[in-house]
Amino acid sequence: MNIQTPPSIAVPQASTLQRPTREEAEAAVRTLLLWAGDDPNREGLVDTPARVARAYEEFFGGYEIDPVELLARSFEETDGYDEMVVLRDIRLESHCEHHLVPIIGRAHIAYIPDGRVVGISKLARVMEAYAKRLQIQEKLTAQVANTIETVLKPKGVAVVIEAQHQCMTTRGIHKPGVSMVTSRMLGAFRDDASTRREFMAMIGSPRLGAEG
């Protein structure tokens, strides 16, 4: 079995600013509860700051993950397979960087190998590593596609995300049921219309929104 490790590349990580302590984070939550008009010392809220801190560790765990490292192990024993590899309907949970509210949807990832393939779970993990950070959907779409292209060096990469943003459905304009669709097509998916159509047919989504 021939396993290759790609050269390291620079991937933006979390801020280098000093991270507050858990106690400081919980104090900040108590301040927000007071600002909202409630009493953080009442029975129903007394443990809320600690719960929120734990939830944030889960919501934003992507800052602790290197997406490049997830793709570090690739395999050349493919018996010449060079057709499209598609992972569709990946559950997407992220948070809007403007209002800190959820972005919920699904993602589809495809690539055309050029002699090297990667375990399919790694594609979903790359998506999750970027999704579990403060995001805008356009940037998330580009980050996933660009990382796969840079590390695996395939003949083409395609990423499509369709999601609902609670900053739009639960506040502001209050328009539930509206989805945002973004795509990033690289290599053969950008250059060859028939390849792009095949991918769109395979994911069963004819809609195509903002293309990166």
Give Cβ neighbours of residue 102 (< 8 Å, ≥ 6 apart).
93, 94, 95, 96, 166
Active site residue 95: no
Catalytic residue of the set 93, 96, 166, 198 = 96
First to last CA, the chain: 36
The predicted-structure confidence for 139-160, as pLDDT tens digits, reads as follows 999 999 999 999 999 999 999 9
Active site residue 4: no
Active site residue 98: yes
The predicted-structure confidence for 149-200, as pLDDT tens digits, reads as follows 999 999 999 999 999 998 888 877 888 888 999 999 999 999 999 999 999 9
Task: In whole angstroms, give the CA distance from residue 106 to residue 112.
Answer: 21
Active site residue 167: yes
* Over residues 78-105, mean pLDDT: 94
**Minimal CA–CA distance to 85: which of 129, 115, 105?**
115
Task: In whole angstroms, give the CA distance from residue 66 to residue 79.
Answer: 30
**Minimal CA–CA distance to 113: which of 104, 123, 103?**
123
pTM: 0.85
Active site residue 108: no
- Residue 17 has what DSSP assignment? S
Task: In whole angstroms, give the CA distance from residue 195 to residue 199.
Answer: 6
